[in-house]
Chains A and B, each alone.
Chain A
């Protein structure tokens, strides 16, 4: 029975069941992006000292929903879509047990809905971290557990699909690099979800009264194996998307698959250990544990990110130079399709993730320097550069590719599509930089009112810090406009976009299969290996990328030195 269709524009093959699962997960992801984005705007406007729009209770409710909806639900729903795409579509293979895939999806929907209900009932404003002994309603923990089980099912279906592809011989050689990146995300997801189960199941029992006490430090340590590692799933997934977009837009081939795969292996081994940087100010664990996990081991994961940060633009440069863009160091970049949101979104994601998110992540992962910025708003400044720009913008960029290819709808509002990555990325850049600055001046995170207007003991932050928080709010507003544009374009295209295939009905935009006549291929041809090319001189060919890498390293050294100098001035020795 014919179950595959081939996209006439991209040549990609989509299996009927996998396609529906991809669509359903991606659409739910965008729903949570919208919810989290609206609440994020309210948080940003409240933290603007001049506006301060929400009262304290509503602020912590909004912050809890914003963090959970974006950092968990939007990201993981979309990542599940990426896993089905990377396994079934890229390997030209039927998905393993699609029926169980729908059960997993249903558990994720029920779980995330329970968490939202718990939030809106008003008794679970425990924020994304939900530290004990601060209690939430039992349905909050139950919802997270159900969501995690659903996601875990998706991970095992991904692995099962790899087994089927191997057994049915749908590809030659090794799995493609993009699929390998998705496999890396899956491995990290399995560790992350298992850690979540280890700590959230006892916490659920505690909230029901079956357990009297949960040690806060034990909770924090294990919880961060969930909380931070979940963001490492994002890193692996968005790096895989960078490689995919480089191949889609430019036909670029990795400079060295061996090196890129080894870098993903470093992620598998070491990336999750960076969770320890959240515990750097806690007294209960030794410096040896802290330094090993956040420095020695984490630096190997940082090395992997720097490899990807070099090889993705490097392979684009080589592809562009082959097309004749050979003048100077940067003609290849200048002549890149900056009006195409698939490229611009990906490249902005790569640059801001590396220069802002990457450098600040390493700096705050250093035990001594961490003391300057621990629990300040520097930390949200860092993760808005990594997750909001690095991951979210990469996911937005691939969505512009998937709407015509997967959903078979033409994008509406081409001019808005062109500008959206710049507005969202620009707003997030302003927000991140200003939060990093204010955090360095000591402004705390998760704080409703840094003016302490009702406090018995007054404290006044430097005027510069107050100004920075105000400008950061404007950046948040600009990013919210960019995020709203994306949601309108995505949903508008699915509903009103011109059909590129007569079988693409309104229902098929939201997870139902397209008309039966669309699926006319029983088994796609085998995925063949491309001819092997001599790539030994790639490093020499990518001169512009090499210069960008030197600028990155110089920025890294200067920023590290500034922070070390700042530490010496506020913590004099001797």
Chain B
């Protein structure tokens, strides 16, 4: 398989764009990939469920 990283065209003397820096950082991707669904799906969902009044 041959490689063709078009995005690496900016490498060399030019500074690496922030978006490419993000895509080249696996640990940052892990961080945001866990953060987003944890906040929007799990934490928000749990907050809604625990705010349901208990049956008296």
Contact = CB atoms under 8 A, between A and B. Distances in A.
Interface of A: 12, 90, 159, 162, 172-176, 178, 180, 183-184, 186-188, 190-191, 194-195, 198, 215, 217-218, 221-222, 225, 229, 244, 247-248, 251, 253-254, 256-258, 261-262, 265, 268-270, 272-273, 275-276, 279, 284-286, 289, 292-293, 297, 527-530, 532-533, 535
Interface size class of chain B, counting residues whose CB lies under 8 Å from the partner chain: 20 to 34
A215 B48 contact: no
14 contacts: A12-B1, A159-B27, A174-B24, A187-B33, A187-B34, A190-B34, A191-B38, A221-B42, A258-B6, A261-B7, A272-B33, A279-B45, A532-B6, A533-B4
B39 to A, nearest CB: 10
Contacts of A527: 3
A186 B32 CA distance: 13
Contact of A289 (B2, B5, B11, B48): B48
Nearest to A272: B37
B29 to A, nearest CB: 5
A165 B37 CA distance: 29
Contact of A269 (B1, B3, B30, B36): B36
Interface of B: 1-9, 11, 19-20, 22-24, 26-27, 29-30, 32-34, 36-38, 40-42, 44-46, 48-49, 52
A530 B4 contact: yes
B6 A269 contact: no
Contacts of A175: 24
B42 A195 contact: yes
B7 A174 contact: yes
B40 A221 contact: no
A284 B52 contact: yes
A318 B1 CA distance: 16
A251 B5 CA distance: 14
A218 B46 CA distance: 7
A153 to B, nearest CB: 15
Given A174-B24, A265-B22, A293-B41, 6 more contacts: A174-B5, A222-B45, A222-B46, A258-B7, A269-B32, A275-B41
Contacts of B48: 284-286, 289
B16 to A, nearest CB: 10
A272 B2 contact: no
Contact of A190 (B8, B23, B24, B30): B30
Nearest to B52: A284
B42 A225 contact: yes
Contact of A159 (B7, B19, B26): B26
B42 A268 contact: no
Contacts of A285: 45, 48-49
B2 A253 contact: yes
